[in-house]
Amino acid sequence: MLVLSRKKDESIMIGDQIEIKILAVEGEQIKIGIVAPKTVKVHRSEVFEAIQAQNKEALSASTSFLERLKKK
């Protein structure tokens, strides 16, 4: 893991297309902005994990559905 220190109005570049901007620092909370191409999906980690769980659930449901179709 790379750890960097940044102040308000500074940014971090990821590659040449993704910029992470520090917008505000308020106590223990930091507000960031992300500039990235529309083709890059950006999610909070808890949303990403929920999407992954739903995808896994959908895959297992599809597998059982296909198995039932085979039997018919």
Torsional sign, CA 5, 10, 33, 13: negative
Quote the pLDDT of residue 46.
97
Quote the pLDDT of residue 61.
67
Which residue reads 């893991």 in tokens?
A: 1
Quote the pLDDT of residue 51.
94
Task: Judge whether 54 and 43 are in contact, CB under 8 Å.
Answer: no
| Rounded Cα distance, 18 and 6, in Å | 16
How would you write the pLDDT of the chain (72 residues) with one tens digit per residue? 999 999 999 999 999 999 999 999 999 999 999 999 999 999 999 999 999 999 888 777 666 677 777 776
Kind of pairing, strands 18-26 and 11-14?
antiparallel
